[in-house]
Structure 1
Amino acid sequence: MFTIGCHLSSAKGYLKMAEDAASIDGNTFQFFTRNPRGGRAKAIDPADVAAFHAFAADHGITRFLAHAPYTMNPAAAKPETRQFAIELLTDDLMRMENTPGQLYNMHPGCHVGQGAEAGIALIADALNQVLTPDQSTTLLLETMAGKGTEVGGRFEELAAIIDGVELSDKVGVCLDTCHVWDGGYDIAGNLDGVLEEFDRAIGLDRLHAIHLNDSKNPLGAHKDRHAPIGEGHIGFDALSAVTNHPALRDLPFFLETPQDNLAGWGAEIAALRAAHAA
């Protein structure tokens, strides 16, 4: 089954997000666990969760992806910034157990001048503090564009983080098409080669989700600016090929493209569904 959705506002709860996804022929969705710049998370309403589960069962929604706020940086040099990240991760992963078996995505962090090796060690240490043996949530490290001091712009950096995590069975990867393109991986000209490189470094069994975005920048720009599907340098055909690739086609795809309303994402979903092999 082709599973695709977009990034929705969580302000009105799980049921409303599922209803919005279904209204544009989506069968998954993504949302921020709290304000993307940080802050306190909204209390979870058990009645809303129950209504969501009932609606989701009737509409073929089995998977969603929660996204950590951008301000969280477990690779920070300042102890207080790292502690904030650890506290936020702990809270988010606890909250995720209200909807068991789902996915939680995070940007690995920025080493802020300490060097990638130090950043990798700090991220792994933070994950070792927050992951628990009994959690049902799979935490995903997102592939990054490699701008500034971001960790995760190369597959080997994500592999090194995972290697340092004791409960590594709880950790996977979310591949962002804009990010890997901006990071220098040519998914338009050599998708098979990029996936082979991913498999060698990390293992395709670790890949649990795809952020499907076009890019406003040429290959290797290291800038991370998303574009609507087919309106960037990657192009519609290449992104459609991602959704049809045998190694990827059964994963959930999440649009983070710049759209003003649901209709814009609905049009992208319709076009991608039309080009998706049965």
Structure 2
Amino acid sequence: MLKIGCHLSSSKGFLSMGKTAVEIGANTFQFFTRNPRGGAAKPLNEADIAAYRAFAEEHGLFPILAHAPYTLNCCAADPGLREFALNTMADDLARLEHLPGSLYNFHPGSHVKQGLDVGVALIAEALNAVLRPGQSTTVLLETMAGKGSEVGRTFEELRSIIDRVEHPELLGVCLDTCHVYDGGYDLVNDLDGVLNAFERTVGLDRLRAIHLNDSKNPFSSHKDRHEKIGEGSIGLSAFTALINHPSLRNLPFYLETPQEDVSGYGREISLLKSVYQD
């Protein structure tokens, strides 16, 4: 069975997101832990969480993927921004323990002219401060497109972070198709080669989720502009091969494509289900 979902608004709570996911044919979903541009998270609604957990059990909505705000930058040059990132991650992870077995995804950050080595060291330092043995949430480093001073464009950069973390068993990777394609990994013409490179460098056992996004830009453009599935430079054939690949087909897939409303996600979910080989 294809495990697929999309990004949903968390403004009305978890039960609302769960019901929306089921209505559009999804069996998982992604949400922002707070405003994507930063700020405080809403107070936990324990009644909503309890109702959602019962609904999720009934409909098989797992694992869900929590996404950290875009403003989170663990390797910022400004110590105040690094402190914000640290506090936000710690708070998010504490809150996610109310939803056991969730995934938590974040953009590794931008080193802002400090250099890659400094960026990697600061990201690892932040992870060492927030990861706790026994936590039920797996934290995912997202693959990046390589804009500016982004850390995480190459698999080697992700590996270098993981190698510096004291509890690597709590870490995984979320592969974003637009990002890796824009970053120089040719998913269209050499999917096996890309996955072999990931296996050699990071290990496919650490690949825990995939963001499904077509790209508005050509291969290796080092930009980050998502497109609807089949309408960009990656194309539907590549996504068909990707979701059916033996190393990937059992992973959860999350759509982050540009849509006017959730019905657009529903159409994409239906499209991808139609090319998935049960």
TM bucket normalised to smaller: over 0.9
Aligned counterpart, 2:251: 251
How far 1:101 sits from its partner (Å)? 1.0
Cα distance in 2 between the residues matched to 1:129 and 1:51: 32
Note the 1:233-252 alignment, pairs <5 A: 233-252=233-252
Match of 2:176, as an amino acid? D
How well do the aligned residues superpose, as a CA RMSD in angstroms? 0.6
Aligned counterpart, 1:228: 228
Please say if 1:158 is aligned against 2:163: no
Q: TM-score, normalised by structure 2?
A: 0.99
Match of 1:275, as an amino acid? V
Cα distance in 1 between the residues matched to 2:156 and 2:94: 29
Cα distance in 2 between the residues matched to 1:107 and 1:191: 23
Cα distance in 2 between the residues matched to 1:55 and 1:83: 36
Aligned counterpart, 1:263: 263
Match of 1:56, as an amino acid? A
Aligned counterpart, 1:34: 34
Q: TM-score, normalised by structure 1?
A: 0.99
Cα distance in 1 between the residues matched to 2:240 and 2:18: 24
Match of 1:54, as an amino acid? A
Aligned counterpart, 2:214: 214
Cα offsets for 1:214-270 (capped at 9, x unmatched) = 000000001100000000000011012111100000000000000011111000000
Note the 1:81-100 alignment, pairs <5 A: 81-100=81-100
Aligned counterpart, 1:67: 67
Cα distance in 1 between the residues matched to 2:210 and 2:240: 12
Identity of aligned residues (%): 62
Cα offsets for 1:68-94 (capped at 9, x unmatched) = 000010111111111111111110000
Cα distance in 2 between the residues matched to 1:160 and 1:46: 38
Aligned counterpart, 1:110: 110
Q: How many residues align?
A: 278
How far 1:34 sits from its partner (Å)? 0.2
- Structure 1: 5+ residue stretches without partners: none
Cα offsets for 1:17-74 (capped at 9, x unmatched) = 0101000110000000000000010111111011111111121212100000000101
SS in 2 for 1:28: coil
Aligned counterpart, 1:145: 145
Cα distance in 2 between the residues matched to 1:271 and 1:142: 25
Cα distance in 2 between the residues matched to 1:78 and 1:167: 26
Cα distance in 2 between the residues matched to 1:123 and 1:58: 38
